[in-house]
Amino acid sequence: MVCPCCFTIPSVIIKLLATASALSYGQRFLTKNSNKWVRRISFGITLIISLILVGIGLFLLVLANNNDLRSRGFANFCAMQNLKDGGPMNEVRCAILNEADISGKVLEFGPGPGTNFKCFVNSTSIDEYVGVEPNTYFKEEMMREKEKRGLTFPLDFAPLRGEDYVDVMSESFDVVILTHVLCSVDSVETVLANAERALKPGGKMIIMEHMTAGQGTKLKMFQEVVGPIFNIIGNGCKVLDMTKIIENYLGNRFSVQLDEFEAPLPAFPLLFARPHVKGVATKK
């Protein structure tokens, strides 16, 4: 049920509907002096494109105003993606986590369906694991993934936004994991602050996030086009300059080693998310 007073129409939807309308009227103007077959063919093509744009716009409108549907759909999508054990992206993911030597008490923000669990299979050094995940549709998938991987560490599911995880005991975790989560939070700095507070001195913050492409590049322009759409279907995901945000916030309180790279993601539908940053920040 959608609250009428909370009903919103994101600007990207207005642009899609306006484009569909402009195509319809523009086609009539541009072909008014053409023969009837050109007009008919042009009208048919324009009609199909306009209907597709309207359909996408209405679909996004429903998602934008139904949090439950959006959360459930995103959870199902991520769970299906998590079924793939192999692939170059999983190799990158597991290489980062394995090199960091995950052990002790582990806190992960935005674990989703337990996407990183496949990288913990050969680890017996995790004593306790806490997953902070506001999308409760992920809980069952996470428990199923833990059992599938034969992981025996205690797991606590905290159904909270990363910004709201404030009651944790200070300096109580050895490792904090942040992979593909900071893009979708309301305040990256607040989540980093909560992670910093939870982390012991000498503890490690493991980071892998997608980020904005270089200024003036075609990919940057593409990100600006598809970003508002993915913000709706991707549960609030945004394209941000993650390297700058993370380095500026952590400052000299951490020893930060970040590397930017192009993630091996498929061109469709994730070309815009190929620019990535990964690394480890160690608390001083």
Per-residue pLDDT tens over the stretch 249-263:
998 999 999 999 999
Rounded Cα–Cα distance for residues 121 and 146 (Å): 9
Per-residue pLDDT tens over the stretch 117-156:
999 987 779 999 999 999 999 999 999 999 999 999 999 9
Cα dist from 107 to 66, 178, 179, 236, 238, whole Å: 29, 9, 12, 22, 23
Tell me whether strands 126-132 and 275-283 are parallel, antiparallel or unpaired. unpaired
Rounded Cα–Cα distance for residues 80 and 112 (Å): 12
User: 3-28: b or e for each residue (b if 16 or more CB lie within 10 Å)?
Assistant: eeeeeeebebbeebbebbeeebeebe
pLDDT for 25 beyond 90: no
How many CB atoms lie under 10 A from the CB of residue 99? Answer: 10
Rounded Cα–Cα distance for residues 69 and 47 (Å): 29
Name beta bridge partners: 92.
none
Per-residue pLDDT tens over the stretch 221-231:
999 989 898 89
Higher pLDDT, 27 or 197: 197
pLDDT for 38 beyond 90: no
Structure tokens at 239: 């394209």
Q: What percent of the chain shows pLDDT beyond 70?
A: 97
* pLDDT band per the 50, 70, 90 thresholds, residue 220: very high
pLDDT for 281 beyond 80: yes
pLDDT for 1 beyond 60: no
Closest CA to 191 of 219, 214, 160: 160
Q: What percent of the chain shows pLDDT beyond 90?
A: 61
Q: Are 170 and 144 in contact (CB under 8 A)?
A: no
In this structure, the dihedral spanned by the alpha carbons of residues 258, 262, 263 and 265, taken in order and rounded to 10 degrees, is: 160
Higher pLDDT, 33 or 282: 282
Start-end of H helices in 154-241 = 188-198, 218-233
pLDDT score, position 219: 93
Higher pLDDT, 61 or 84: 61
pLDDT score, position 81: 81
pTM for this predicted structure:
0.87
* pLDDT band per the 50, 70, 90 thresholds, residue 2: very low
Distance of CA 83 to the CA centre of its chain: 17
Rounded Cα–Cα distance for residues 116 and 142 (Å): 10
- Average pLDDT score over the chain: 90
Mean pLDDT, residues 158-179: 95
